[in-house]
A and B are shown apart, each in its own frame.
Chain A
Amino acid sequence: MNIEARFRIDRGSFTLDVDLCLPGQGITALFGHSGSGKTTCLRAMAGLERASNGYFAIGRQVWQDESRAYFVPPHQRALGYVFQEASLFAHLSVRGNMAFGQKRSPAGDRRFSLPVIAELLGIAPLLDRSPAELSGGERQRVALARAVLTSPQILLMDEPLAALDLKRKLEILPYLERLQREFALPIIYVSHSPDEVARLADHLVLLDQGKLVASGPLKDVLSRIDLPAAFADDAGVVIEARIAAQDDDGLSRLEFAGGEIYVSRRDEPIGALVRCRIHARNVSLALVPQLHSSILNSVDATVVALAPTDTPGHVLVRLDVAGAALLARITGRSADKMQIRPGLALKAQIKAVALLA
């Protein structure tokens, strides 16, 4: 099952013009800076905006096809939508908010029960409260529960965590992941936070000024070195690693396709999978093993390609680490001095690893 979305919306100063084919499972992130059109694109998918020559279909279910003037209004689409602000109905209790969409969805389509979802999202004790009595994180969880209870075929989320501080974000992310794991619900997730995207997404769509820049599996898109400057500063890859050992000196040993890396002690049990993000700016290169360096993490790598960056004097190097991709941002001068070229084998030194789970 694929999701096909073609929208062209012209608003004078801003034009959204995209043609997307997205996987019908997992979390797809629409990523871009403000004004990139990611929210407009999501609203068009929901039917909240009507693109004059739009097309939107999930598998065989067509919701919009303007070539034959076909448009299903939002309330007849089996979708869940979570807005940036929770937008709970103030005149209803938490339970009333959650039941609002559930009782309006066709009885035969209802897949989830209110108590189960309330339990899953940790809002069972809040059911009789009024929305005004909830914290920001709780409200957003209720909004998420309310959307899921409509038994949607797809969940659309518009920066649901943007209005929350880091602590609240970390409070919601596990619920979101649990939801995705347990119900295999495709999610389209709009975000401008690289960390959120790196942690959550399986598929990544980059938008810039209303245009599609890149679309593909997260790891493929992140390891590209030909992306426009707007994304180059945050260049970095995501790797999935397994916790292999908990060492006595406060470090955890992670194993991934390309080797081993050490990070600050993690709470997860041995064997658990964690996602880490390695920024290109935190990777340096050496031709011979550096025995007298404080950098602990060093892996064998082969140069795949080089590309200039927008940072003056710097180049982006794409590396192959036993099948996994790694990016390094180094100065052009060093690249010349070391004669870095495709095929060269060297050591990639990883100065910092950001763990996302």
Chain B
Amino acid sequence: MDSADLAAVWLTLRLATVVTVVLLIVGTRIAWWLAHTRSPLKGVVGALVALPLVLPPTVLGFYLLVAMGPNGPLGHFTQAIGLGLLPFTFPGLVVASVFYSLPFVVQPIQNAFEAIGERPLEVAATLRASPRDAFWSVAVPLARPGFISGAILGFAHTVGEFGIVLMIGGNIPGSTRLISVQIYDHVEALEYGQAHALAGGMVLFSFVVLLALYTFNPGPRKAVGT
């Protein structure tokens, strides 16, 4: 592996870490809302969150590119607050990846919250825990398997993205050139040996992550009744 490969690996890990952290914060709120709301908008929001599961990444990438562009709403906003334009930058990649990996984080956490149900939260309320306290001291620990699944899937899925990266990030070394793009470049240049090193690494990484997920992570825990 040459320095360009290593730079791509490092950038990919950095992106996946930032995206996972953002998603755990944003995704948990969405998952909590979806698990507890009685709003008629639940179906709409749930479908929007799940869209990246079915859409080709290029479609999502295209619209995000338009939205982040100089004439798009996101572009207007980022320019107004002095960030400039996001496409072809690392922050742009983060925003795009957050949308792209959202369902992989939201759904396991939502499922875990739903499996817990309302009862433990009611119990916590009768034991003097405020709703915020109950969230941290009861809901989060009980939903831990969902958080682990969500974090691992979100991280792994971000590492593996390609289409959306190419649309939003382009191919700028050290800034937007991720492993998947680097592999594409190697193959284009007929550098199969280097492509193998990165591609094989990706296969191994993904397998180990999924193996760990399925082996060690139990299903969501319920409060023990009688």
Q: Which residues of A contact B (CB under 8 A)?
A: 46-48, 73-76, 79-81, 83, 85-91, 100-101, 104-105, 131-132, 134, 136, 139-140, 146-147, 150, 163-164
Name the 7 nearest CB pairs between A and B, nearest first: A85-B225, A101-B127, A104-B128, A81-B126, A131-B224, A74-B125, A91-B141
Task: Check if A86 sits within 8 Å of B138, measured CB to CB.
Answer: no
Task: Check if B126 sits within 8 Å of A80, measured CB to CB.
Answer: yes
Which residue from B125, B133, B142 sits with its C-beta under 8 Å from A89? B142
Interface string of B126-156 (1 = CB under 8 A from A): 1111110110011001101000000000000
Task: Check if B128 sits within 8 Å of A101, measured CB to CB.
Answer: yes
Task: Check if B125 sits within 8 Å of A73, measured CB to CB.
Answer: yes
Given A74-B126, A90-B142, A100-B127, A83 contacting B119 (CB threshold 8 A): yes
Closest Cβ neighbor of A47 among chain B residues: B125
Question: In whole Å, how far is A3's beta carbon from the nearest beta carbon of chain B?
Answer: 17
Count contacts between A and B, CB distance < 8 Å: 87
Residues in A neighbouring B131, C-beta threshold 8 A: 75
Interface residues of B in 32-68 (CB under 8 A from A): none
Q: How far is the CA of A139 from the CA of B223 in the complex (A)?
A: 11
Given A83-B119, A104-B133, A89 contacting B126 (CB threshold 8 A): no
Task: Check B222 for interface membership: any CB of A closer than 8 A.
Answer: yes
Task: Check B91 for interface membership: any CB of A closer than 8 A.
Answer: no
Task: Check if A91 sits within 8 Å of B142, measured CB to CB.
Answer: yes
Question: In whole Å, how far is A219's beta carbon from the nearest beta carbon of chain B?
Answer: 32
Which residue from B119, B124, B133, B226 sits with its C-beta under 8 Å from A140? B226
Task: Check B123 for interface membership: any CB of A closer than 8 A.
Answer: yes
> Beyond the given A90-B224, A134-B224, could you list 20 further A-B residue pairs with CB under 8 A, ordered by the A residue number?
A73-B125, A75-B124, A75-B125, A75-B129, A75-B130, A81-B123, A83-B119, A83-B122, A85-B226, A87-B119, A87-B120, A88-B223, A101-B129, A105-B128, A131-B224, A136-B226, A139-B225, A147-B126, A150-B126, A150-B127
Given A91-B142, A91-B221, A86 contacting B226 (CB threshold 8 A): yes
Task: Check if B129 sits within 8 Å of A89, measured CB to CB.
Answer: no
Question: In whole Å, how far is A75's beta carbon from the nearest beta carbon of chain B?
Answer: 5
Q: Which residues of B contact A (CB under 8 A)?
A: 119-120, 122-131, 133-134, 137-138, 141-142, 144, 221-226
Task: Check if A139 sits within 8 Å of B119, measured CB to CB.
Answer: no
Q: How far is the CA of A104 from the CA of B131 in the complex (A)?
A: 13
Residues in B neighbouring A75, C-beta threshold 8 A: 124-131, 133-134
Residues in A neighbouring B126, C-beta threshold 8 A: 46, 48, 74-75, 79-81, 101, 147, 150
Question: In whole Å, how far is A146's beta carbon from the nearest beta carbon of chain B?
Answer: 7
Can you list 29 contacts pairing A with B, beta carbon distance less than 8 Å? A47-B125, A73-B125, A74-B122, A75-B124, A75-B127, A75-B134, A79-B126, A83-B122, A85-B225, A86-B224, A86-B226, A87-B225, A88-B223, A88-B224, A89-B138, A89-B141, A89-B142, A91-B138, A91-B141, A91-B142, A100-B124, A104-B133, A105-B128, A131-B224, A139-B224, A147-B126, A147-B127, A150-B128, A163-B225
Q: How far is the CA of A242 from the CA of B79 in the complex (A)?
A: 88
Q: How far is the CA of A40 from the CA of B144 in the complex (A)?
A: 32
Q: How far is the CA of A146 from the CA of B137 in the complex (A)?
A: 16
Residues in B neighbouring A147, C-beta threshold 8 A: 126-127
Task: Check if A164 sits within 8 Å of B127, measured CB to CB.
Answer: no
Task: Check if B129 sits within 8 Å of A164, measured CB to CB.
Answer: no
Closest Cβ neighbor of A168 among chain B residues: B226
Task: Check if B226 sits within 8 Å of A139, measured CB to CB.
Answer: yes
Question: In whole Å, how far is A128's beta carbon from the nearest beta carbon of chain B?
Answer: 16
Question: In whole Å, how far is A268's beta carbon from the nearest beta carbon of chain B?
Answer: 30
Closest Cβ neighbor of A142 among chain B residues: B224
Task: Check if B127 sits within 8 Å of A90, measured CB to CB.
Answer: no
Residues in A neighbouring B123, C-beta threshold 8 A: 81, 83, 87, 89
Residues in B neighbouring A81, C-beta threshold 8 A: 123, 126
Closest Cβ neighbor of B118 among chain A residues: A48
